């Protein structure tokens, strides 16, 4: 299958290889949570809710008393994929993604400012169309910011792949299921630091670098967008108050 049209250079859905899908972010979508956000990358739609910082509920889980405990629970809604299959809770994939999100967020949260407290992040995929991992991290970032949790930097995530000898940014489901390499990067823009790097195939070094650089560019673009969303939200809150 031609994932990139050799004559026009367009991808199946009409994007160019280095273009991201349409982004949409919205904060404050779950009133009861301390912070919440909805994040869309094309048809991939994810909701995140953050509770905390609050007192540690189960002392046994606390690793040390100097840092806040970050917990994360990832779920995919049964209706999120085309086949509407019921998915068991806590399967290997969810556990793994939960861990990935937790570690990525932990790296940006200033946990030492909130000792003896815990932060819970709940992420739910409402609609899956490739790049759910990245979308979850972006949604979590927005929700954490909405909850006012102190962070070093905005952490964003984006995937990139390599199909038809072309590096492609932000794979959608069709491209993702092509079986090519898929690199997911988590990135702290201001600090210029990679906090997450996952790949499930082999790539030669030089190709890998271009693919990773592309993913980082994607992360930067998402960070800009998330900043805009947050600024807009702040402006709106100001208006409401003022």
Partner 1 sequence: MLQSKTFVKKTRAGRVQKVVREHYLRDDISCGAASCSTCGAVEHPLSADAAAILVVDTNVVLHQIDLLENPAIDDVVLLSVVLDEVKNKNLAVFNRIKALCSNKARRFFVFTNEHHRDTYVKEMVGESPNDRNDRAIRVATRWYQSHLGENVKVLLITNDRDNKRKAIEEGINAETVESYVRSLAQPGLLDLVVVSTSGDVTMEDVEDLRPSKKKVIYSEHKPMSEITAGLRCGIYHQGKLRVNRYNPFEAYVGSESIGDEIVIHGRSNMNRAFDGDIVAVELLPQDQWHESKSFIADDDEDDEEDVHLAPNSADDAPRKANPTQSTAASSADSVSSRPVGRVVGIIKRNWNSYCGSLEPMPMPAGSGGVAHALFVSKDRRIPKIRIQTRQLGNLLDKRIIVAVDSWDVLSRYPSGHYVVLIENDINTRPFSTQVLACLPPLPWTLSPEDLANPNRQDLRHVRVFSVDPPGCRDIDDALHCTPLPNGNFEVGVHIADVTNFVHPGTPLDEEASQRGTSVYLVGQRIDMLPKPLTEDVCSLRADVERLAFSVIWEMTPHADIISTRYTKSVIKSCAAMSYVEAQARMDDSRLVDPLTVDLRNLNSLAKIMRHRRCERGALTLASAEVKFEIDSETHDPLDIGIYQIREANQMIEEFMLAANISVAEKILKHFPLCSLLRRHPSPTKEMLEPLLRTASSVGLNLDVSSSKALAESLDNAKNDDPYFNKLIRILATRCMTQAVYFCSGDLTFSEYYHYGLAASLYTHFTSPIRRYADVIVHRLLAAALEIAKLPPLFQDGPQLTGVADNLNYRHRNAQMASRASVELHTLIYFRTRPMDTEARIVKIKANGFIVFVPKFGIEGPIYLTPKGDKGGDWVVDEVHQRVTKPGTNVSYAVLQTVMIHMEVVEPQPHRPKLQLTLI
Residues in contact with partner 1 by CB under 8 A are 1, 5-8, 10, 12-15, 18-22, 42-43, 82-84, 129, 162-165, 172, 174, 178-181, 201-204, 207, 217, 221
Alpha carbon distances (Å) from 62 to 34, 98, 120: 21, 18, 13
Q: Least Å distance between CB 206 and partner 1?
A: 9
161, 211 in Cβ contact below 8 A?
yes
Q: Least Å distance between CB 53 and partner 1?
A: 35
**What's the full length of the chain, in residues?**
242
Residue closer to partner 1, measured from CB, 118 or 172: 172
Q: Least Å distance between CB 203 and partner 1?
A: 6
69, 63 in Cβ contact below 8 A?
yes
Residue closer to partner 1, measured from CB, 44 or 233: 44
Q: Least Å distance between CB 143 and partner 1?
A: 23
Q: Least Å distance between CB 45 and partner 1?
A: 11
Residue closer to partner 1, measured from CB, 21 or 71: 21
Locus of tokens 């992360």: 219
Alpha carbon distances (Å) from 130 to 52, 68, 115, 124, 170: 30, 32, 36, 14, 8
Q: Does the CA dihedral 142-145-149-155 come out positive or negative? A: positive
Residue closer to partner 1, measured from CB, 13 or 78: 13
Residue closer to partner 1, measured from CB, 129 or 146: 129
Residue closer to partner 1, measured from CB, 10 or 61: 10
Q: Least Å distance between CB 171 and partner 1?
A: 12
| Residue 34 token pair | 């301390």
């Amino acid at each position: 299958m031609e994932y990139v049209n050799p004559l026009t250079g367009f991808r199946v859905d009409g994007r160019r290889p280095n273009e991201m899908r349409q982004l949409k972010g919205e904060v404050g979508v779950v009133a009861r949570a301390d912070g919440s956000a909805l994040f869309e990358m094309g048809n991939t739609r994810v909701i995140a809710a953050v509770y905390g910082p609050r007192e540690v509920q189960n002392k046994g889980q606390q690793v040390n008393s100097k840092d806040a405990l970050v917990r994360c629970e990832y779920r995919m809604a049964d209706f999120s994929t085309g086949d509407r299959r019921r998915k068991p809770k806590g399967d290997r994939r969810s556990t793994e993604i939960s861990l990935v999100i937790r570690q990525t967020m932990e790296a940006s949260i200033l946990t030492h400012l909130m000792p003896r407290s815990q932060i819970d992040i709940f992420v739910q995929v409402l609609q899956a169309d490739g790049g759910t991992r990245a979308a979850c991290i972006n949604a979590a970032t927005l929700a954490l910011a909405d909850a006012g949790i102190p962070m070093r930097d905005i952490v964003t995530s984006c995937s990139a792949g390599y199909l038809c000898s072309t590096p492609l940014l932000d794979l959608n489901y069709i491209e993702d299921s092509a079986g090519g390499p898929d690199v997911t990067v988590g990135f702290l823009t201001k600090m210029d630091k990679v906090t997450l790097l996952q790949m499930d195939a082999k790539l030669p070094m030089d190709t890998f670098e271009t693919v990773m650089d592309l993913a980082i560019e994607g992360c930067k673009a998402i960070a800009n967008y998330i900043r805009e969303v947050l600024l807009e939200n702040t402006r709106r809150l100001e208006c409401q108050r003022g």
